Amino acid sequence: MGRRRTPELYRAPFPLYALRVDPSAGLLIAAGGGGAAKTGIKNGVHFLQLEQINGRLSASLLHSHDTETRATMNLALAGNILAAGQDAHCQLLRFQIHQQKGKNKAEKAGSKEQGPRQRKGAAPAEKKSGAETHQEGVEFSVENLHEVQTDFSRDPLQKVVCFNHDNTLLATGGTDGCVRVWKVPTLEKVLEFKAHEGEIEDLALGPDGKLVTVGWDLKASVWQKDQLVTQLHWQENGPTFSNTPYRYQACRFGQVPDQPAGLRLFTVQIPHKRLRQPPPCYLTAWDGSTFLPLRTRPCGHEVISCLSVSESGTFLGLGTVTGSVAIYIAFSLQEVLLCGCCCCCVLGLLL
């Protein structure tokens, strides 16, 4: 008897590159696309309503926003503002959702006589922006705020974007190895410095203003503005003493439960080169003040592609390049759930 298939939460009509959850509004935001190639695959950002129905998580499409010829490869969320990485650019989007109230009986009867509600994408104003609203009784709008080029390599690509703790600043990194920090929402540049030789793979902004960056040069660095504070030293003291070099794939700050001032940094280390018999990947917790390692655990032989920390700091989520997902307890790095299907199925646990 085969393994029971997990119910599907959502299927995107385009390659899916970025997901964000807004717990306060119960929104799942999904983005991706086919890029500039004329393959017929659209580029867009989908806004979905998350609900618990009979004990199961359900997602219904509220709104789709057309991003024209650019696929969104990475996202950051600050309230109702999205920072979307599209090729070498970052675009700020503001979304607003309103529940319609006070329809009288005549309006309701009229809407029934007219048949199914038409998508707002058919209206001239919405069609121009490529937006569509799909749920009855909901008004949803997306506004393009500002856009700026954030990467300037020969083949420029913004790879990562994140907001600071009070959402006043935005940090970006990409293939040219430079960190750039921008004011929100004007996208006025306030800081730029070279952080890595080669691509920046991930970055994280702490509440004390410190910035952690990881790159393809096998380094993980801690910065205060553009000044190097320290570097993380995992390979030298890690559990593997082989000749296989590891690089840092992801980094995230997380709160320490029951300690308001406590802070942890979590990183993922993966083999720098693909081997026929791949060594394990590792998950490591660091002290958020001293940046000394607290504990490290192997997390399987599948290559880890992304890391997420729950808002409470209790759980860690790992995704692999093959599509499997695992959930770990942040304090002990003990695995509590392994799922071989799409990462959407564990979003409810991380909310």
Residue 61 in tokens = 């499409």
What local confidence, expressed as pLDDT, does residue 240 receive? Answer: 62
What local confidence, expressed as pLDDT, does residue 86 receive? Answer: 96
What local confidence, expressed as pLDDT, does residue 126 receive? Answer: 35
Residue 325 in tokens = 């997902």
CA 256 to chain centre: 21
Whether the CB-CB separation of 162 and 214 falls below 8 Å is answered with: no
* Alpha carbon distance 319, 325 (integer Å): 5
What local confidence, expressed as pLDDT, does residue 340 receive? Answer: 54
pTM: 0.84
* Alpha carbon distance 209, 166 (integer Å): 10
Question: In the chain, which residues have pLDDT < 70?
Answer: 1-6, 101-136, 238, 240-242, 338-351
3-state SS of the chain is CCCCCCCCCCCCCCCEEEEEEECCCCEEEEEECCCCCCCCCCCEEEEEEEEEECCEEEEEEEEEEECCCCCCCEEEEECCEEEEEECCEEEEEEEEEEECCCCCHHHHHHHHHCCCCCCHHHCHHHHHHCEEECCCCEEEEEEEEEEEECCCCCCCCEEEEEECCCCCEEEEEECCCEEEEEECCCCCEEEEEECCCCCEEEEEECCCCEEEEEECCCCEEEEECCEEEEECCCCCCCCCCCCCCEEEEEEEEEEECCEEEEEEEEEEEEECCCCCCCCCCEEEEEECCCCCEEEEEECCCCCEEEEEECCCCCEEEEEECCCCEEEEECCCCCEEEEECCCHHHHHHHHC
End-to-end Cα separation, the chain, in angstroms: 32
The closest of 316, 263, 249 to 291, measured between CA atoms, is 263
* Alpha carbon distance 349, 117 (integer Å): 34
